[in-house]
Amino acid sequence: MVCIAAFIILGICVLTVPIIRLFNKKLADNIVKLFKQATHCFSRRVTLRACDTSFADDVKNGLLRKVILKHPKWVKPLSGLIELLSFAIIVVSIWSLLVGVKSLVSLYVYGTCNPSKPTACVLDTAEACSINAAPVEFNKDPIGWIGQWFSDYGEAIAAIPTKMRHWDAKDYLPKNPSYSDGKNSSKPLALDIFDPGCTVCRRSYIAEKEAGFFDKYNVALLPYPIYKQGKAEFQHSVLVARYLTAVQIQGEPKERKDDTKLPSAWRMIDRMFTGKDADGVEYQKAFNLGYNNEKAEATLKQWLADFGYNDDEIGKIVDLTHSNKVKRLVNENRDIVDKDVKTKKIPTVIYDGARHDGEFKK
């Protein structure tokens, strides 16, 4: 254990040798010499061979030299303590290596080194609303925490092939998708996965709109209500997602009240992300923080009336919204994201053969 721990410590010290050499050449040379000895001993230990030098004993003797002379009875317990500290150094080093590798794999696969809390990753430049961001707390359930940690590790490793593949938006389309420009095949297809209540999704949508993304691509919608611990993260996201799905099934109103060509589902999202209510409050904020269920549904019905739907059409949409058919479709959309797309960040946009996780950047 001692020679392995010494190899780790000296390996770190060797990295600073060029700087140490500027001030103390003898010390730098000694570090390099000791590191070579530790490397030789380490290489034999990891191949289950005994070290053919007295390096480990030399390290112990160097540390206990003064103790041997003054307090010989302390040598045995202190020698055991050195072995224990060596074991702790090895465990911490292995754990640090595992954490580093997991962070790098997660950064590559998910775009964040901390999938459960993207904002905690300093290497993550794209903001997002994270999926499954309710990790087990170590101080409450250490066994569960360790199990989840390794489960997340395995999930990240298994998701590497999904990151490397060529991403085609049409492979992940929901049933009855709503396109920003109808079924215009002259534009490349893109898929926008979002949560109606996610504030980052709102900022991302506005950035896409300002950058002309919807002019360049024909974008399909896939509403994805984020759940944490079995409960929707945002209060009315599920209701809005079901209304969007019901509108896509119902189709456009027979008589529009204006000449806009934007599909009604897109008009709902545009109003959610860019509109304000009569009190000047952003609709998304009002839905998330102010509206109860009755007010939220009444507002959505009013939007439908504004878009040109008559009472009969609105009644059909409401019936669809609360039907098992729409509930099943919304769950199927979530399965597309969880099982096929396997992103950890919302919004996610698929276009140009790649999966782009997090807020859209102009």
Report the alpha-carbon distance of residue 178 to residue 176 in Å, rounded.
7
pLDDT given for residue 301 in this prediction: 95
pLDDT given for residue 5 in this prediction: 62
Contacts of 88 (CB under 8 A, 6+ apart): none
Amino acid at 12: I
Tokens of 322: 């609360």
Write phi, then psi, for 361 (nearest 5 degrees).
Answer: -110, 130
Query: What tens digit of pLDDT does each residue of 162-185 get?
Result: 777 789 999 999 988 899 988 778
pLDDT given for residue 116 in this prediction: 63
Q: Where are the alpha helices (DSSP H) in 111-124?
A: none
Amino acid at 244: L
Distances in Å between the Cα of 82 and the Cα atoms of 72, 86, 339 are 16, 6, 49
pLDDT given for residue 109 in this prediction: 73
Average pLDDT of 241-248? 95
In the structure, what pLDDT confidence band is assigned to residue 237 with cuts at 50, 70 and 90?
very high
In the structure, what pLDDT confidence band is assigned to residue 278 with cuts at 50, 70 and 90?
confident
Between 56-60, 69-73, 288-292, the lowest mean confidence (pLDDT) is in 56-60
Average pLDDT of 204-233? 91
Given the DSSP bridges, would you call strands 348-351 and 227-228 parallel, antiparallel or unpaired?
unpaired
Report the alpha-carbon distance of residue 159 to residue 167 in Å, rounded.
14
Query: What tens digit of pLDDT does each residue of 122-165 get?
Result: 555 567 787 765 566 666 667 776 776 777 777 777 777 777 77
Peptide bond into 347 cis (omega under 30): yes
In the predicted structure, residue 74 carries a pLDDT above the cut 70: no
More confident residue, 220 or 51: 220
Please, are residues 50 and 15 in contact by the beta-carbon 8 Å criterion?
no
Between 49-53, 108-112, 316-320, the lowest mean confidence (pLDDT) is in 49-53
Q: Where are the alpha helices (DSSP H) in the chain?
A: 2-14, 17-23, 25-45, 55-70, 75-110, 142-158, 160-164, 199-210, 213-216, 237-250, 264-274, 283-285, 293-306, 311-321, 324-335
Place of tokens 């949508």: 205
In the predicted structure, residue 275 carries a pLDDT above the cut 90: yes
In the structure, what pLDDT confidence band is assigned to residue 54 with cuts at 50, 70 and 90?
low
For the chain, what is the mean pLDDT? 81
In the predicted structure, residue 34 carries a pLDDT above the cut 90: no
Write phi, then psi, for 359 (nearest 5 degrees).
Answer: -60, 135
In the structure, what pLDDT confidence band is assigned to residue 43 with cuts at 50, 70 and 90?
confident
Report the alpha-carbon distance of residue 54 to residue 51 in Å, rounded.
8
pLDDT given for residue 305 in this prediction: 93
Report the alpha-carbon distance of residue 237 to residue 245 in Å, rounded.
12
Contacts of 220 (CB under 8 A, 6+ apart): 169, 173, 174, 177, 178, 179, 180, 189, 190, 191, 192
What are the beta bridge partners of residue 147? none
Amino acid at 143: I
Class of domain 166-357: alpha beta
In the predicted structure, residue 55 carries a pLDDT above the cut 70: no
For residue 139, give the 3-state DSSP assignment: coil
More confident residue, 32 or 299: 299
Please, are residues 86 and 59 in contact by the beta-carbon 8 Å criterion?
no
What are the beta bridge partners of residue 193? 222, 348
Where are the domains positioned within the chain?
A: 2-95, 109-162, 166-357
Write phi, then psi, for 355 (nearest 5 degrees).
Answer: -105, 120
pLDDT given for residue 77 in this prediction: 73
Report the alpha-carbon distance of residue 215 to residue 24 in Å, rounded.
64
pLDDT given for residue 342 in this prediction: 85
% residues pLDDT > 70 (the chain): 78
pLDDT given for residue 199 in this prediction: 93
Average pLDDT of 76-95? 71
pLDDT given for residue 193 in this prediction: 95
Q: What is the pTM of this model?
A: 0.69
Determine the distance from the C-alpha atom of residue 200 to the mean position of all C-alpha atoms in its chain, rounded to a whole number.
14
